[in-house]
Chain A
Amino acid sequence: MKRNGMYFWGGAALFLAGALLMTQVIGNQYPFFACYVILQFIVLAVAWSILGGYAGYVNFGTSAFFGVGVYTAVFLFKATGVPLAVQIAAAAAVGALMGFALGLLTLRMQGIFFSIATIAATIIIETAITNWRYVGGASGIQLQRPAVMAPFDNYVEMLFFVQAVMVVLAVAISRYIQNSWIGRGLQALKDDELAAECTGVPTLRLKLTACVISGALMCAAGAPAAMYLQYADPASAFNLNYSVSALAMSLIGGTAHWAGPVIGAILLGVTQQLLTVTISSEVNVLVLGVMLVLFVVAAPEGIVGLIRKVRSKRNEGEG
């Protein structure tokens, strides 16, 4: 266990060092633009998996959290001009509150009803923002980035690194949850909530914790998007694509292990970025659709599940 932890933190440090090195060495802007989007999806997928994967509550409201993150940043930037770190922290706080409210919803709703309620929440929040003129309303709002901070010489490079830090944070939290009593409790309530409750698992507390953490991470992932696009409009910020992608990435990667959403997000995110600049037509929508169907049919437990199956078969063979 301890050795595992060392490997993990070593890997995380190496990843961050690599990201930082990239910003200092590569002069071409495109990798940062493309990688930023992929990193953003890793955070979203990992965050989704904390509630959707560990606890089995399928949340279609990723775009609601993401959009609120975007608009928290827009509001704070317009009102006070606070730096990016404060925007992200505030978005995380707002996301935690939203997550708490979502958690209370689970008291009454489970399964498909919970999922539908999360879609409804997205629509309600988007409509509210659409009618809030201060943050641009339906017309959207253009933002001018402030000066970039050292050691970066470009804002997108900085955003890329910030998002890389968030990936490490999100994955670390998800890994901690999976390996701790919280993860085991969530696992129990995923299998049978009533039975878990009867055996003394504090289901409500656990669900609230999962919702708060998941919500905070999703909102935090959305906050830098305002500065990435230098523009925000409700239709783009609350795009259902975020919900669908986060869900698909987690499912393709596998929801039983923290690495699942990471693998899924990298695979799907990279494919999306590649298809955008290669096939670049209706066909790329088809390719993604076919990929999803193939994974659901061939690997219902995701890539992580597939790897586990192959490994256990090999072990059996050896035994």
Chain B
Amino acid sequence: MKRRTLLGGTIAVAVLGLTTAAIGQQAPIKIGMSMAQTGGLAGGGKASLLGIEVWRDDVNARGGLLGRKVELVVYDDKSSASETPAIYSKLLDVDKVDILFAPYATVPTAPLMPLVKQRGMLLMGNFSFQVNSKVGHDMWFNNAPWGPADSWASSFLDLGQKAGGKTIALLAADQEFAQNLAKTAREVATKLGMQVVFDQAYPPSTVEFSGILRALKAAKPDIVYVASYPPDSAGILRAVNEIGIGDNVKLFGGGMVGLQFGTVMENLGSLLNGVVNYNTWLPEPQMYNDGTKAFFEAYTKRAVEAKVDPLGYYLAPYGYANGQMIEQAIKAVGSLDQKALAKYLREKTHKTIVGSITFAADGEWKETGVVQAQFRGIKDKNIEQFRSPGKQVILFPAKMKSGDLITPFEAARK
């Protein structure tokens, strides 16, 4: 009995101590999220998180928001959809966070959409693809520059058509993101009056692509649209290097994930030459905005220590931009009222380090910010070369253009 009294007393004192400490200073604004730190999406998740952390430190150095410090509450979702509902429920019900950021990528985000809609919470998306199209949550804002669903394929196929392409081959991984890309590519091809002469999905575990590429080559397409994931992107480029792709191919690439990551680019080296692929940020002069340079200086310094992508072009600046958007919204609204913040985000244009962002009704970018760029003059085993302009020449959009397309693909590879 005595021991119990002592224990109770200790707990009471501890609780009392904690409460007084909390009252002593204003509670921080908590931003909650899950982020892949293990599993297949961990590489991207960690880089994205570092971008958000750089923003947190910047905003706290500027005195925080509403006179309160900004704190991140982050849990590992193991790259899995089955982990996120419980994590976000904890963020909302136990940690009582003020703002929610979505996890990196589509699969972990998809189960959250109905949850945040039911709870009336604002959710800042993080590089997912069309997760809101069926749910229709009016407080969802995606930081990814995809824009309208078909803009991705249309930008690439448009380039191909201008280069004289009439037929198209589709090669896509049998996974959610790649299949979404392939679907829109088929629709856009029909709209542009192009003929699909080859349409192949391959299982995600495929490592050997020479058979598929031989069949593709035999179909003699003008444009090859590839929607692949990092391991297969490398496998496909190696197979292309081995057996070639045919002289009539004018444009090759489009939706190859992985060719944006520093280590993958370093490993592939000269095999990248000639490929036209999507990207979200590149060190071309047109892509610098207010704060972009300072961000990358801070990121590069911390990337080594955090063991993440040393370049960090793909995700990290967009993580920072998510912070910037919420910062602007909170400052303008003057509170953490979810509806008011969402209204501000929906109606205004937001200046960020990745450019000006305006949202459409579905919470995606009104205009696409995805660029299509061609790899040029890449040498083997040198990651630093990707920091200089001219290595990935922007072909689309027109206002960002930093060079012209070199065709055919076989000529551009040399």
Interface residues of chain A, those whose CB is within 8 Å of chain B, are: 28-30, 32-34, 36-37, 127, 130-131, 137-140, 142, 144-145, 156, 225, 228-231, 233, 235-236, 239, 241, 273, 276-277, 280-282, 284-285
Contact yes or no, B86 A140, CB < 8 A: no
Nearest B residue to A282 via CB reads B38
Nearest B residue to A142 via CB reads B134
Q: How many Å lie between the Cα of A100 and that of B22 in the bound state?
A: 60
Contact yes or no, A276 B83, CB < 8 A: yes
Q: How many Å lie between the Cα of A236 and that of B114 in the bound state?
A: 18
Q: A33-B90, A139-B176, A233-B176 are in contact. Are A281 and B76 (CB under 8 A)?
A: yes
Contact yes or no, B110 A233, CB < 8 A: yes
Q: A29-B89, A29-B92, A280-B75 are in contact. Are A138 and B111 (CB under 8 A)?
A: no
Q: Could you mark each residue 237-253 of chain B with 1 if its beta carbon is under 8 Å from any beta carbon of chain A, else 0?
A: 00000000000000000
Residues of B within 8 A of A139 (CB): 176, 179-180
Nearest B residue to A239 via CB reads B80
Contact among B37, B175, B178, B180 with A280 in the assembled complex (CB-CB below 8 Å): B37
Taking A127-B203, A229-B82 as given, write out 12 further A-B residue pairs in contact, using a Cβ cutoff of 8 Å, ordered by the A residue number.
Answer: A28-B94, A30-B90, A37-B86, A137-B179, A138-B173, A144-B135, A145-B114, A230-B113, A230-B115, A235-B175, A236-B107, A276-B76
Q: A145-B114, A230-B114 are in contact. Are A28 and B107 (CB under 8 A)?
A: no
B18 interfacial contact with A, CB 8 Å: no
Q: Nearest Cβ distance between residue A29 and chain B, in whole angstroms?
A: 5
Contact yes or no, A235 B107, CB < 8 A: yes
Interface residues of chain B, those whose CB is within 8 Å of chain A, are: 37-38, 74-76, 78, 80-83, 85-87, 89-90, 92-94, 106-107, 110-111, 113-115, 131, 134-135, 173-176, 178-180, 201, 203-204
Residues of B within 8 A of A30 (CB): 86, 89-90, 92-94
Residues of A within 8 A of B114 (CB): 142, 144-145, 230
Q: How many Å lie between the Cα of A276 and that of B75 in the bound state?
A: 7
Contact yes or no, A29 B93, CB < 8 A: yes
Q: How many Å lie between the Cα of A230 and that of B116 in the bound state?
A: 12
Contact yes or no, B93 A28, CB < 8 A: yes
Q: Nearest Cβ distance between residue A208 and chain B, in whole angstroms?
A: 31
Contact yes or no, A276 B87, CB < 8 A: yes
Contact yes or no, A33 B37, CB < 8 A: no
Residues of B within 8 A of A140 (CB): 81, 106-107, 110, 176
Contact yes or no, B174 A142, CB < 8 A: no
Report which residue of A37, A130, A229 has the largest number of chain B beta carbons within 10 angstroms of its beta carbon.
A229
Closest A-B pairs by Cβ, 3 of them: A33-B86, A236-B81, A231-B111
